[in-house]
Amino acid sequence: MADGNVVMARGMPAAVAPPQKGTLHRIARRRSTLAFLMTLPLLAVIGGLVAYPFFYALYLSMLNKRMTRFVGIDNFTFLLSRETFQAVIWQSVLFAVSAVIAKALIGFILAHVLHALPAKGQRKWRGMLLVPWVIPPAVSTLAWWWMFDPSYSAINWVLTTVGVPPVAWLGEPSWARFSVILVNVWYGAPFFMIMYLAALKSVPDQLYEAAAIDGATGWQKLRYVTVPMMKNIIAITVLFSLIVTFANFDIVRILTNGGPQDKTHIFGTYAFQVGIQSGDIPLGSAVSLFMFPILAVFAIFVLRDVTRRNKEMTG
């Protein structure tokens, strides 16, 4: 049996021979089957918590208000014809784009400042700067809400003491837009900071040394070494943040509830108002699904660039 072959003794009945392995057994022993089984929990989670809600929302968005009749894309065309919803699209884009740009810039600057700090004190500052991101936004937004209060808040108290008239932060449309974006930036900038800091730390020092030997200035090092090396992480972070910011709900809901005059409504808050509060769940679903194509197109472009850059780097 040294060679592994089974030699059957002469005269031994066939029934005693080891059984032939079945197809099922062979499939079960395949590595791909094992891999499939091991990813099954993940597939179940994605199916149950991502795919099913998405397709269910899609289904709901194609029903009439009473959810008794299929109406195709009527809810979507109806929404596009409404002045209020057109404003919601514009405001969502304004909110998300301006907040993400501000967060990216602040995060970039903070990451560089932190990176330049001596290693000893860096951890302390890093921890402190992460605090806004760690506090649940529902809680921190309530604190901001108090600070924006026109009559009793610290901000207006300070303004009044220096002779500036108090500002209706959440009562004037332009100030209200500024306020909700500000709180979103305050909450989200630490995320950018920590991602960029990690990216900065992964840039090899030799590149800077080589640049210094070539006589590069600080600005040139940033432009020709740091930024190119961080491009992928910048793209991924911006994409991720844009998705999260577009889908924001709590900050606007707590601070302004979409007002005044609907000037701060974004997709999430408007979907809630239409779907849950007004009892029109199909229309609410349609509102929330409007985010999908916008973000999908953006994601395709960003991820394509990331893949291209990766290929260039490895090739």
Partner 1 sequence: MAGNGMTRRGMLRAGVAGVAASALPLVNVHGQSSGGRLALGFWDHWVGAPANDVMRAIVNEWGQKNRVEVTLDFITSAGNKTLLTIAAEAQARQGHDILSFPTWQVHDHQDLLEPVDDVMGRLIQKYGAVNQASEYLAKIGGRWLAIPETAGSQFKGPAARIDLLKQHAGIDVQAMYPAENRLGPGADQWNWETFLQAAQKCSAAGYPFALPAGTTSDATDWIGAMFRSFGADLVDAKGNITIRNNDKVRQAMEYSKRLFEFIPSEMFAADDATNNRAMISGKSALIFNPPSAWAVAKRDAPDVARNMWHFPSPSGPAGRPVPFLPFFYGIWKFGRNKSAAKALLEHLSQTEQVQRLVEASSGYDIPPFNSVFDDIDTWRKVEPPLGTVYNYPVRAHHNAVPNVAYAPAPPEIAVQMYTQGIQAKMIARMVQGKEPIDRVLAWAETEVEGFKRG
Exactly one of 33, 39, 217, 261 binds partner 1 (CB under 8 A); that residue is 261
Q: Residue 72, by phi and psi: left (phi above 0), alpha (psi -120 to 50) or beta? A: left
Tell me the sheet residues that pair with 70: 63
206 binds partner 1 (CB under 8 A): no
For residues 98 and 103, give the distance between their C-alpha atoms in angstroms, rounded to a whole number: 8
The two tokens of residue 212 are: 């210094």
Q: With b meaning 16 or more CB within 10 Å and e meaning fewer, what string describes 203-235? A: beeeeeeebeeeebeeeebeeebbeebbebbbb
92 binds partner 1 (CB under 8 A): no
3 binds partner 1 (CB under 8 A): no
Q: Is 70 helix (H, G, I), strand (E, B) or coil?
A: strand
Per-residue contact flags (x/-) with partner 1 for residues 134 to 153, judged by CB under 8 A: ----------------xxx-
Q: Are 207 and 222 in contact (CB under 8 A)?
A: no
Q: Give the residue among 49, 93, 48, 82 at the shortest CA–CA distance from 283.
A: 82
Provide CB contacts within 8 A for 125, sequence distance 6+.
114, 117
91 binds partner 1 (CB under 8 A): no
Q: Shortest distance, CB of residue 196 to partner 1, whole angstroms?
A: 34
The two tokens of residue 105 are: 């810039």
Name which of 92 and 285 has its Cβ closer to partner 1: 285
Name which of 65 and 126 has its Cβ closer to partner 1: 65
* Eight-state DSSP code of residue 226: I
Stretch that binds partner 1, among 118-126, 202-210, 256-264, 304-312 (CB under 8 A): 256-264
Exactly one of 21, 25, 30, 82 binds partner 1 (CB under 8 A); that residue is 82
174 binds partner 1 (CB under 8 A): no
Exactly one of 20, 161, 277, 314 binds partner 1 (CB under 8 A); that residue is 277
257 binds partner 1 (CB under 8 A): yes
Residues 61-80 within binding reach of partner 1 (CB under 8 A): 64-66, 78
Q: Shortest distance, CB of residue 262 to partner 1, whole angstroms?
A: 7
Give the residues lining the site for partner 1 (CB under 8 A).
64-66, 78, 82-84, 150-152, 168, 170-173, 176, 256-262, 272-273, 276-281
